[in-house]
Structure 1
Amino acid sequence: MDTSDHSLSTLFKQLGLPAGKAGIEAFIRDHHLPEGLGLAQAPFWNESQAAFISEALDDDSDWAEMVDELALLLSK
């Protein structure tokens, strides 16, 4: 059983992105998810990032909630 902390910060670490508050805020400010486009299909991910996001959602993994939260933040 995976008992690790799943937060936006740890999701960003998992994706290899700056995971501090300023890094997360900058990413959200600088990226937008167009309406109707799934998060994993967004053009700003590399192949491994897109695969991780897709698998998290497809498998309804422990990361799915944070991935959904990120999608919501990028859709605003």
Structure 2
Amino acid sequence: MEHPVHPFTELFEQLGLPADDASIKAFIERHAPLPETIPLHKAPFWNQAQADFLHEALDDDADWAEVVDHLDASLRKG
């Protein structure tokens, strides 16, 4: 069974964040670089619901995992 592919904008909507290109770029610029020692879901800028969603998406290898990995990689760049 194939998992649906979620676009980056949809992940931001799921997290309750502005999802237009300029807002996504600003979010990443504001919070990057995230140190390698901090797991994505433990970053201080998430609320509990966002952190839980990100953790579960990766832990369960859910259909969101690929786009959450993309977010993680984007936040690691400095």
With structure 2 as the length reference, what TM-score do the two structures score?
0.90
Corresponding residue for residue 44 of structure 1: 45
**Alignment RMSD:** 1.6
| CA distance in 2 between partners of 1:2 and 1:52 (Å) | 21
How far apart are residue 2 of structure 1 and its match? Answer: 8.7
Structure 2: where are the runs of 5+ without partners? none
- Greater RCO, 1 or 2 (C-alpha within 8 Å, sep 6+): 2
| CA distance in 2 between partners of 1:27 and 1:42 (Å) | 13
| CA distance in 1 between partners of 2:45 and 2:38 (Å) | 12
TM superposition outliers: structure 1 runs of 4+ over 6 Å: none
Corresponding residue for residue 20 of structure 2: 20
With structure 1 as the length reference, what TM-score do the two structures score?
0.92
Query: 1:54-65, aligned counterparts within 5 Å?
Result: 54-65=55-66
Structure 1: where are the runs of 5+ without partners? none
